[in-house]
Structure 1
Amino acid sequence: MSGVVSPTPLRHRKPLPSRTPAYTEINQEDDQVEFSNPRNRSTVEQVLEKDRASMAMAAFLTVAAFALRFYKINHPDQVVFDEVHFGKFASYYITRQYYFDVHPPLAKMLFGLAGWFVGYDGHFLFENIGESYTENHVPYVGMRALPAFLSSLTVPIVFAIMKECGYSTIIAAFSASIVLFDNAHVAQGRLILLDAILIFFMSLTLYSYIRFRKLRYVEYSPEWWGWLLATGTFMACTWASKVNGILTVVAIGIPVLVDLWDILDHKKGHSMEYFWQHFLARAMGLIVLPIIFYLMVFYVHLSILTNTGPGDTFMSPAFQETLRGNELLLNSQEIRYYDTVTVRHKDTRVFLHSHPERYPLKYDDGRISSQGQQVTGYGHDDSNNHWQIVPTKALPETGRGRIVRHDDVVQFLHVNTQSLLLTHDVASPLMPTNQEFTTWPKDDHSRYNDTLFYMRLVDAHEGEAWKSKSGHFKLIHVPTKVAMWTHLKTLPEWAFSQQEINGNKNSHEKSNIWFVDDIVGEQTDEDAASRTNVAPKEPKKMNFFKKFAELQLLMLQHNAGLTASHPYASGPFNWPFLISGISFWTENNDQKQIYLIGNVIGWWTCIVGISTYVGILGADLLGRRRAMEPLPEPVRNRLWNSAGFFLVVWAVHYFPFYLMGRQLFIHHYLPSHLASALVAGSLLSFVLSETINYPISVRGPSMSRVKQRTYADVGLKGPIIVALFALMMLGMFIYMAPLTYGTPGLDGNSVNSKRLLSSWTLHFAAKASDA
């Protein structure tokens, strides 16, 4: 499949000679190439193809899009669905509090900017769906206006994409109307949600790439470079708005690779120098520029969020200490030998605990234990959580007051039982592959070596001091090299159902990390005084690229971890058919609700269009295999190059979701739906076309650029069919509008009538007995 998106053939062509065919007329003044071949062109179509008519249609679509998306944008004046997240993040930008989210920050920063622009101070935290904006004095309309504005502009961009690909005005209007009158796009585009911004930048990316490809015969011209860089910029904006924006990068990358592969063909007569020039130009515009832009977005993001906030705990101690007011920055203290501390596991948050009770001689599976003192993980503060850091024999009493440092060999003394932490080659109670942890009397030196542990700080340099709060560490047993570890599975009643502590043979696992929660007893007043003001009050510095890498890794991990069930989650197979939607908001008193669902007519038309398109290509391939020519060459080129590009965009934004294990919702299909509208328009043009005029590329001495125009003549029936389709779309949109806008309220029977598919879960529906 080719990356060429205009309807011209793939094979490389030289610029046409100055002599032009008889059926073209060149206007040197306005640099237009007009087709004067009126064969089979209806009067209506000739009128529609004039520039003024095309601009009027685009203006009409734009005004209609603004009207539908801004209609009653102030309703409801309550938090709706994921506004609890993205409105909250906007507040954090205004108050400069650090937060963590799985999505890149560009769209959320734009929401913060919109809120700041309308005078919002960030005081409201969008805690729960249904909370009132008006009672909390939140200028929410100004924040909702941002996605509504961009969603409205997406409609004329879709129109422009089709026009730039050489389709007629009426066909371009058809594709645009599918997005214009779609209930899901409207509902998603008038709330503080990310998808409208994502789709806006995605559509601009497609438009820019098409403009770039149309200039392939005037390579390296200012306009060629301009549209190449515009493609890279808007692609980066898409990528930086939401995590699945990376699919747009892939969708552009595929035709670019096909294009480069075509240039590499020696039959085209190009040298390797010519190939590398094109490769480097595309690498600069579509790889280097997007990466730089993406990094800049995160640089701004991290430069704004400089105060401690709810996202601190996701980050490493070194990262947290760069945030003003962070607990680790203010309260961490250097740990010294003979300090008594409480130790907690980073993931499960339980304390390292011990008590006089012992392991049973025999476990349920018949294994024999050491009958040593139990060492467990306990979730509550208790004096049995107290451990003293004891120096080894190499540091006798002179070790008192000495700072414990990275890679020191230490002992842990359980204060209440005066026994030393120990692990040995005995299977743990719940995991036979891991070692048992127990304790040993401190005065019995017969097992001294088994009580020795390396104190390994995470991401530390040699000699770095161990600190409470921020000093995350792994405790590695010296003789056996296992790491102290715990997990969520609890021990039986004989251990009071506390968590098991055992020795993990894989010492590199991140779940082996612990930290000192508190220093519970100072030895002397002198020691206490020496700790005063140890922790710096000013935030520390950390290299941007280290912060960026840490944040990217966490985003990927947490996005993959969003696997919890949700009542309105749905799989990719359901999306094109509108099997289920999402309940965004309800108001019980007036029986109002917002239910995200698409326009059934538009969505089913698109999926029928895609299926038919694939069938036509398959039939053409099969016919050509049998030495037949089912389609003329110009028609085939248009189907493969233009509609084929749209199909690639649809597929790349759709099929990867089958590989994802995270929560998925119908709004994840909206980018693919936009691409499917482009495919449907291309197919309608194929079905209705009576003739196809060949595109003409003209380069004149006084012309600064090349113009290409081609029209698929759809005859008089085209405008009639598209007008009827638009009216049907509008009718369905109005019929479903109460679920899109959340007003007016509906009684039970009215709700039932709106449930076009039995799988839609609508609120306030009448029961069969009520009906």
Structure 2
Amino acid sequence: MSKAKVTGFLPIDTDDESLRERHVDQSKANTSDIQGEQLDCSDQLEKEHKTKKGEQYTTLKILRDIIGPLLLTIWSFYLRFKRIDQNNYVVWDEAHFGKFGSYYIKHEYYHDVHPPLGKMLIALSEWIAGFDGQFDFSSNNAYPENVNFKIMRQFNATFGALCTPVAFFTAKWMGFNYLTVYLIATMVTLEHSYIALSKFILLDSMLLFFSMTTFACMVKLYTLRKQQMTRKWSLWMLLTGLSIGCVCSVKWVGLFITVVVGLYTCIELFLLYCDSGLPRIKYYKHWLIRIINLIVIPFLIYLYCFKIHFVLLYKSGTGDSTTNTLFQINLEGTQIEAGPRDVVFGSELTIRSHGLSPNLLHSHVQLYPEGSGQRQITGYGFADSNNVWKFEFSRSSGLELDQNGTLNGKIIPITDGMEVRLSHKNTGSSLHSHDVPSHVSRGNFEVSGYGSQSVGDEKDDWIIEIVKQMDSPNPAYSNENSTILHPVSTFFRLRHKVLGCYLASTGLTYPAWGFKQAEIVCKDSWSRRDKSTWWNVEDHWNNNLEAAKDYIPPKSNFWTDFILTNFAMASSNSALVPDEDKYDSLSSDAWEWPTLHKGLRMCSWAGYIPRYYLMGSPFNTWISTASLIIFPFVVLFLLYRWRRQTLYLSDDKIWQVAIQGIFPFISWMTHYLPFVMMGRVTYVHHYVPALYFAILVFGFVIDFALTRAHWIVKYPIYLSLFGGCIYIYNLFAPICQGMHGDRAEYSSLQWLSTWDIAF
């Protein structure tokens, strides 16, 4: 054998074939290792690139979605907390809502046109501030040193400041590009009217916050529309219901955004109904979940707010007159006196209605301007000597009481089915009805005060019908004769002897000639359960009988109290009509809000105190109003392109247009048009929620116009919008941060002659 040559690590023998094969295999292995190392290196580089890119994306996301909105929120808090206590006087409606909060501190019952949640939150801020409830919040009065009004205002301002992050994430969930998202959030942050209203003890910042959270929850449900019945979707459905309950419990204006959520829900349910692949059982489950979350839960929140309201206000107060007798008499310090337990002929008494206007039967010397021209009979809630009546024998009986208020020395009780006549103590006229149409309601008869003790006819006679007796918790009065009329605990009806109709309160009010008091009529009633025809004796006096000092009245029914309180709120709201005989310099018409035609002085315009002018930012208001005009044309343009088949509108695209533009526009209309149509007095602050939705519509218009625009066009426009928003805020900042000194110094802000900033 020849000697082998050594090459590298392998001996190569040209004559040995096996050695050559081993060398080739080793060479291939070495080449494969090199290629493997190169591939591993390439994969490693790609992984490192992806990791680096992911880290950059995460950093950008943190900056955009966390740091950015956090900085805006801090800015929002700063602007609303800035010099919040510099005006140490009671400003504008602080006179109302600060006082309502103090009633909770003192536990005194009051009446207001708004539900109680917002005012209970104000009371919470007063409690946190250590307020004892003794300051009466009289308008333009200085706060005493022992009243920490700064904390109260900061509590309220927190709701206004939190509107910024809500606006940010709402716009983000709606699918706007980030420049639009930040622009919308900046506009909300720098809105002058939002800042001004947030600085004081008012309900408006709470209303705005909960209106925005309700819309935000609806938008979040839109983003989860393909994940229905998941835990996340169920959570947001619950949050939507909670938000609806809160906004409606602050002001009834919350019903406007509730309508929008209801519309969105109906559309969703209709689309689910059209889905042939969805089992009917699952479809009904969708209905059930929405009914529970969007109807039952909000109603329970609203109901529970009133439950807390009644529990907290257990003392007699300024609002007693709007409630029924049982509610009043159970209040501490009630003004209803303890009287004799049996109502008899000759008794003097007041009678309260069980209708939706639980007023006392009332009369006065004024006459009806039309109809019979006899004395007016009305319902009046407040204590007044004109509420006092006296039970007399009927005209047809021919009997009369003697000077001692008895019949030949006998005391005759009023019993079920007995004929009676009610004589008005002050005027001497009798409660009377006849075939004369009622003045406000239709289909009823007029009730009037007619004649005197000696002048009258059979139409003065009424028949007592006892419909219910309530037992006292005191065992000594648990077995009272159910056929005898008792004060407080006996509910009865008065049937007219001639006409057969029943004395009733309609819930309506007379015009100015009737002093806006409740209408009382004689109506045909086919049901014994008709509460408008139910009455009870409230106060009862009779010198021949001994007062029952130890009588314990029955407890009032929560549902009755709840319904009557809400109807009283509605009646008070409808009564807030402009007074044609007076000029209200603070009021304004709805058309003046989106045009910024008029503002509102929130406090005294004396030069020695900081002055606040409630008016929207000219930038935000005018540019959003312009977008409301442009928006319908954008929709028509999209429909035109779709009709010409130059634009394909997928389901997702239709939903996007709806949630970004159509629903904000509908929300604006539901928050604006009611104030156009209603007859009540209106002010600038009524436009506050509508302005937010107008800003969202502006976001849609600008996003639609610039999304596909070249960066050379897009970025300068956005930069101009951000700059304009900030510049206009800085220019008009004094109107929401407080104007000091001479009014002439602010003449440059007097852009329109209708503004009264500088004079």
Superposition TM-score tier, normalisation by shorter sequence? 0.7 to 0.9
Corresponding residue number in structure 2 for 1:73: 84
Q: Secondary structure at the match of 1:558?
A: helix
- Report the residue type matching 2:700 in the other structure: S
Identify which of 259, 271, 281 aligns with 1:273: 281
**Where does residue 317 of structure 1 map in the other structure?**
325
> Could you say which residue in structure 2 is the equivalent of 1:708?
none
Give the aligned partner of residue 732 of structure 2: 736
1:745 aligns with 2:756: no
- Report the counterpart of residue 122 of structure 1 in structure 2: 133
Q: Which residue, 71, 77, 100 being the options, matches 1:89? A: 100
Structure-2 residue corresponding to 1:389? 392
Return the match for 1:262 from 258, 271, 286.
Answer: 271
> Retained in 2: the 8 A contact 1:62–1:152?
yes
Residues 547 and 383 of structure 1: CA distance in aligned 2, closer, same or farther (over 3 Å): closer
Matched to 1:618, the amino acid is: L
Rounded to whole Å, the distance in 1 between the matches of 2:199 and 2:512 is 48
Q: Counterparts of 1:602-681 in structure 2 under 5 Å?
A: 602-629=620-647, 638-681=656-699
Q: 2:549 aligns with which of 524, 527, 533?
A: 533
The residue identity in structure 2 corresponding to 1:522 is N
Q: Partner residue of 1:144?
A: 153
Report the AA paired with residue 583 of structure 1: R
Alpha-carbon offset, residue 510 of structure 1: 9.6
Deviations 1:229-286 (A, max 9, x none): 11111121111111101111111111111111111114x5323223212222222221
Which residue identity does 1:647 align to in structure 2?
F
Instruction: Please tell me the residue identity of whatever aligns with 1:664.
Output: T
Aligned equivalents of 2:515, 2:158: Cα separation in 1:
55
- Give the structure 2 partner of residue 20 of structure 1: none
Q: Measure the CA separation in 2 of the matches of 1:213 and 1:115.
A: 39
**Code of the aligned partner of 2:124:** L
Residue in 2 aligned with 1:769?
none
Aligned to 2:216: 207
Aligned residue pairs total 671
What amino acid maps onto 2:663 in structure 1?
F
Aligned: 1:98 with 2:116: no
When the two structures are superposed, what TM-score results if normalisation uses the length of structure 2? 0.76
- Aligned partner of 2:348 in structure 1 is 341
Aligned equivalent of 2:67, options 52, 56, 60: 56
Q: 1:619 to 1:480 in 2, by over 3 A?
A: same
The answer (yes or no) to whether the contact 1:456–1:473 under 8 Å persists in 2 is yes
Structure 2 counterparts to residues 145-224 of structure 1, below 5 A: 145-224=154-233
Q: Which has the larger radius of gyration?
A: 2
Structure 2: distance between partners of 1:282 and 1:503:
42
1:583 maps onto 2:616 in alignment: no
Q: Is the 8 A contact 1:582 1:666 kept in 2?
A: yes
Cα separation, 1, equivalents of 2:515 and 2:265: 58
Match of 2:421 among 388, 397, 411: 411
Residue aligned with 1:75, SS: coil
| Rounded Cα–Cα distance in structure 1 between residues aligned with 2:173 and 2:270 | 24
Distance 1:208 1:307, change over 3 A: same
Is this contact kept in 2: 1:406–1:460, CA < 8 A?
Answer: no
Inter-partner Cα distance in structure 1 for 2:599 and 2:590 = 12
Cα deviation for residue 351 of structure 1 reads 6.3
Instruction: Tell me the equivalent position of 1:131.
Output: 141
Aligned residues of 1:238 and 1:245 also touching (Cα < 8 A): yes
Q: How does 1:487-636 map to 2 (within 5 A)?
A: 504-506=521-523, 522-523=543-544, 527-528=545-546, 531-533=547-549, 535-536=551-552, 540-565=554-579, 566-590=584-608, 592-629=610-647
Q: TM-score, normalised by structure 1?
A: 0.75
Residues 213, 331 of structure 1: alpha-carbon distance in 2 compared, 3 angstrom cutoff: same
CA separation of 1:660 and 1:440: change in aligned 2, threshold 3 A:
closer
Q: Residues 390 and 413 of structure 1 are in contact (CA less than 8 Å); yes or no, is this contact kept in structure 2?
A: no
1:206 positional shift: 2.1
* Maintained 8 Å contact 1:343/1:514: no
How far residue 648 of structure 1 moved from its aligned partner, in angstroms, is 2.5
In structure 2, the partner of 1:702 is: none
How far apart, CA to CA, are the structure 2 residues paired with 1:194 and 1:117? Answer: 18
Q: Which has the higher contact order (CA 8 A, sep 6+)?
A: 1
- Counterpart in 1 of 2:306? 298
Q: Distance in 1 between matches of 2:141 and 2:257?
A: 35
User: Shift of residue 635 of structure 1?
Assistant: 6.3
User: Following the alignment from structure 1 to structure 2, what is the Cα–Cα distance between the partners of residues 429 and 422?
Assistant: 15
State the partner residue of 2:496: 477
Contact kept? 1:78, 1:131, Cα under 8 Å: yes
Aligned residue among 239, 250, 253 for 1:244 = 253
1:761 matched to 2:748 = no
Q: Which moved more, 1:108-117 or 1:423-432?
A: 423-432
Please list the CA deviations of residues 178-236 of structure 1 after superposition, one character each: whole Å capped at 9, or x if unmatched.
11111100001111111111111122222222223322333222212111111111121
**Relative to structure 1, is the Cα distance of residues 543 and 434 closer, same or farther in structure 2, using a 3 angstrom cutoff?**
closer
Task: Describe the superposition over 1:11-33 as per-residue Cα deviations: whole angstroms up to 9, x where unpaired.
Answer: xxxxxxxxxxxxxxxxxxxxxx9
Q: CA deviation at 1:58?
A: 0.7
Cα distance change, pair 736–448 in 1 and its aligned pair in 2 (3 A): closer
Contact 2:433 2:447 in 1 (8 A): yes
Which residue among 102, 108, 112 is the counterpart of 2:123? 112
Retained in 2: the 8 A contact 1:592–1:746?
Answer: no
For residues 240 and 382 of structure 1, what CA distance do their matches in structure 2 show? 37
1:533–1:666: structure 2 CA closer, same or farther, 3 Å change rule?
A: same
Cα separation, partners in 2 of 1:408 and 1:325, compared to 1, 3 Å: farther
CA distance in 2, matches of 1:218, 1:499: 54
Residue identity in the other structure for 1:573: W
CA distance, structure 1, for counterparts of residue 518 and residue 681 of structure 2 = 32
User: What CA distance in whole angstroms lies between the structure 2 residues aligned with 1:80 and 1:755?
Assistant: 23
Q: Can you give the 5+ residue segments of structure 2 that lack an aligned partner in the other structure?
A: 1-49, 400-405, 471-480
Amino acid corresponding to residue 56 of structure 1 in structure 2? I
Moved more, 307-316 or 319-328: 319-328
SS at 1:620's partner residue? helix
User: Using a 3 Å threshold, how does the CA distance of structure 1 residues 397 and 647 change in structure 2: closer, same or farther?
Assistant: same
User: Aligned AA for 1:283?
Assistant: I
What per-residue deviation string (whole Å, max 9, x for no partner) do you get for residues 510-536 of structure 1?
99999878666513xxx33xx241543
Seen in structure 2, the aligned counterparts of structure 1 residues 125 and 186 have a Cα distance that, compared at 3 Å, is same
